[in-house]
């Protein structure tokens, strides 16, 4: 087989997409194949249809046997049930099977039951089975009742069989894309690099070599810095909601364009915002902060979201060489990272005050982008998988919210280059001013950064603009790891708070890999940074606050976190207004409290002395007298 780890595969595709050829390539190395033909012979005068059938027959090797099921649609389930474990079956295709199923000669019949019976047979089949089916869900709704009946029945059959199969692949223009990657798709693996010696590389039937398994890199330690504990303070309880299982393959995680990841609940968010109008509050409500309630409700799947209890900060440390780092002090980013590891500095202290754990992540250093690629494609692949694993580790630990932080020389210029490549921005418009340690504006360093981004864009003007290509040429290690974090968090339904150029640049790149990722992102404050403002506008992210904070990427979000938590806690705890609750008052104690009568004691006054002028005097023992002497 060309694909390992599966027993049943459904191959979908449009007309002339190459789905049948791809399905045949999957079983090309099987010693014997039983070809199950489902389509009827058709009209003898239809020469074009007869030519199609003849082409299919001519492609089959002589060692294959053919079995026809067009006479009875229920026979296909019987063929699958009677198959032996050592057999290989190729069913081509379900479109012909549905045509026979809807034939008036086989009606009336329970089509739903027949489809369910086929799905059960696929699920229980001991043989290896490849099924081919047309994908009609992307076409227009047919104008005739018979056409609509066919598309509805075929759509139902595709869904049922896809659920029963171990793997599902969609073929478009001859290019396979795995929709249900519970297997190792060697047929879609990247081509093996050309050999530099005379030795030949063994390849599969499609000319591709299996990907070498990438050794896992140890994830960094999670640091928890504890601030001084206030009296009577109690630690919060960690949250451990169930999360989505990751699609993994035997050779490692496959991150590719067009991934289908989960979306937040489209109904819970609006319901939560509508509920805010019914709460018993003395004023007009939460104002623009109702957006955070809607976001939390959608990502938690409930109209009464809870405040985030377990928060983790991921500090990405990756420097960029060349002109991107102009104006930065050598070793400054490493010093900031050492501070964070020691529990010092703004980021670590804010994390400690918020009860958030901190994980310092060392990303690959990026080469000068004006001279050549910042990273190799292999480094990009490793960085993406590394970021995904970081998100997976956080989800397994019950983390409810991730905060992306970054500390590295040249990150602003790298983010500007990514924005210019993905959104067509002009570098001078998205590059923030360079501020020195003494608070002065360094225009010369800013011009060097602009020139570096300009030269990098000119160098790559004819290069592909795919997500991984942008990361390799311009983005660098920190943006690549951040992109992997966003994708992994989306897969595990964990929201991510952003507030800086690295996180927003990763959001722009992740949009081309999985469009669902941006819906799990929350922007705390744009900080007045032009790149953040532009990327947020493109991604449709509205800042929760507009405080113009500039404490470093990640720190701005941690400043806003207590306020956002308070909003969620208040929205979850407040009852409905009595006027909207049938006039019933809330169950509170309205009786007047009883207070004990105060006991008063009559004051004692000292008798005035018969002589001695003036106010109170001091006795010889040093104590003042208790009264005044008469004059």
Place 125 in a pLDDT band, splitting at 50, 70 and 90.
very high
The helix/strand/coil state of 534 is helix
Place 248 in a pLDDT band, splitting at 50, 70 and 90.
very low
Q: Which of 426, 421, 405 is nearest to 333 (CA)?
A: 405
- pLDDT score of 404: 92
Which of the following is catalytic: 553, 584, 591, 619?
Answer: 553
Mean pLDDT throughout 302-313? 91
Mean pLDDT throughout 49-73? 77
- pLDDT score of 111: 82
d(CA 369, CA 544): 33
- pLDDT score of 238: 31
For residue 622, is pLDDT > 70? no
Reading the block at residue 469, the tokens are 């290509």
Q: What is the pLDDT of residues 17-48, one digit of tens each?
A: 889 888 988 888 777 889 998 877 666 677 77
Q: Mean pLDDT in the chain?
A: 79
Mean pLDDT throughout 290-310? 90
d(CA 446, CA 485): 30
Burial 264-275 (b: 16+ CB within 10 A, else e): bbeebbeebbeb
User: Highest mean pLDDT range out of 35-49, 233-247, 474-488, 582-596?
Assistant: 474-488
Based on the residue annotation, tell me whether 332 is a catalytic residue of this protein: no
CB 260 within 8 A of CB 514: yes
Mean pLDDT throughout 117-134? 93
Low-confidence winner among 12-21, 27-36, 115-124, 373-382 (lowest mean pLDDT): 27-36
- pLDDT score of 487: 94
In this structure, the strands spanning 88-92 and 34-37 are: parallel
Place 614 in a pLDDT band, splitting at 50, 70 and 90.
very low
- Percent of all residues in the chain with a pLDDT value above 70, rounded to a whole number: 78
Percent of the chain that is helix, strand, coil (3-state, to 5): 40, 10, 50
- pLDDT score of 196: 35
Q: Which of 305, 183, 341, 315 is nearest to 247 (CA)?
A: 183
């Amino acid at each position: 087989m060309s694909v390992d780890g599966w027993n049943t595969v459904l191959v979908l595709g449009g007309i002339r997409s190459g789905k049948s050829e791809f399905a045949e390539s999957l079983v090309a190395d099987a010693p014997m194949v039983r070809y199950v033909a489902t389509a009827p012979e058709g009209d003898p005068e239809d020469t074009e249809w007869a030519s199609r059938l003849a082409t299919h027959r001519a492609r089959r090797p002589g060692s294959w046997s053919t079995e026809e099921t067009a006479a009875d649609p229920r026979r296909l389930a019987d063929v699958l049930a009677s198959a032996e474990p050592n057999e290989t079956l190729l069913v081509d295709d379900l479109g012909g099977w549905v045509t026979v199923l809807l034939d008036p000669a086989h009606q009336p019949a329970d089509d739903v039951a027949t489809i369910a019976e086929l799905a059960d047979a696929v699920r229980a089949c001991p043989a290896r089975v490849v099924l081919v089916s047309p994908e009609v869900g992307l076409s227009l709704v047919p104008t005739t009742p018979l056409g609509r009946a066919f598309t509805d029945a075929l759509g139902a059959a595709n869904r049922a069989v896809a659920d029963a199969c171990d793997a599902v692949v969609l073929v478009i223009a001859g290019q396979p894309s795995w929709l249900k990657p519970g297997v190792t798709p060697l047929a879609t693996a990247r081509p093996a690099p050309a050999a530099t010696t005379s030795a030949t590389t063994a390849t599969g039937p499609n000319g591709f070599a299996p990907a070498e398994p990438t050794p896992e890199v140890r994830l960094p330690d999670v640091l928890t810095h504890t601030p001084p504990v206030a009296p009577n303070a109690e630690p919060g309880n960690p949250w451990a909601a169930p999360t989505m299982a990751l699609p993994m393959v035997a050779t490692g995680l496959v991150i590719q364009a067009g991934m289908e990841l989960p979306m937040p609940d489209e109904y819970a968010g609006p319901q939560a915002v509508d509920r805010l109008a019914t709460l018993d509050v003395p004023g007009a409500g939460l104002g623009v902060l109702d957006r955070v309630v809607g976001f939390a409700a959608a990502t938690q799947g409930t109209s009464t979201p809870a405040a985030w209890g377990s928060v983790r900060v991921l500090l990405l440390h990756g420097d960029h060489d060349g002109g991107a780092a102009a104006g930065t002090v050598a070793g400054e980013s490493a010093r900031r990272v050492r501070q964070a590891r020691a529990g010092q500095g703004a980021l670590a202290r804010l994390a400690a005050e918020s009860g958030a754990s901190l994980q310092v992540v060392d990303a690959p250093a990026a080469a000068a982008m004006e001279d050549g690629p910042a990273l190799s494609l292999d480094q990009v692949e490793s960085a993406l998988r590394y970021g995904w694993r970081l998100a997976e580790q956080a989800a397994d630990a019950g983390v409810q919210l991730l905060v992306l932080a970054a500390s590295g020389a040249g990150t602003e210029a790298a983010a500007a280059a990514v924005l210019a490549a993905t959104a067509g921005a002009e570098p001078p418009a998205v590059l923030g001013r360079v501020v020195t340690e003494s608070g002065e504006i360094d225009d010369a360093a800013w011009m060097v950064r602009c020139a570096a981004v300009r030269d990098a864009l000119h160098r790559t003007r004819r290069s592909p603009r795919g997500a991984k290509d942008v990361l390799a040429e311009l983005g660098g290690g920190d943006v690549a790891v951040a992109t992997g974090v966003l994708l992994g968090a989306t897969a595990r339904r964990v929201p991510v708070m952003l507030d800086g150029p690295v996180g927003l640049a990763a959001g722009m790149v992740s949009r081309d890999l999985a469009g669902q990722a941006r819906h799990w992102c929350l922007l705390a404050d744009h900080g007045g940074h032009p790149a953040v403002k532009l990327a947020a506008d493109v991604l449709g992210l509205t800042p929760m606050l507009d405080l113009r904070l500039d404490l470093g990427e990640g720190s701005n979000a941690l400043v806003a976190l207590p306020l956002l938590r308070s909003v969620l806690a208040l929205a979850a705890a407040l009852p409905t207004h009595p006027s909207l609750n049938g006039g019933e008052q809330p169950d509170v104690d309205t009786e007047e409290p009883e207070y004990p009568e105060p006991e008063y004691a009559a004051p004692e006054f000292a008798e005035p002395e018969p002589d001695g002028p003036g106010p109170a005097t001091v006795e010889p023992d040093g104590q003042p007298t208790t009264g005044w002497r008469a004059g």
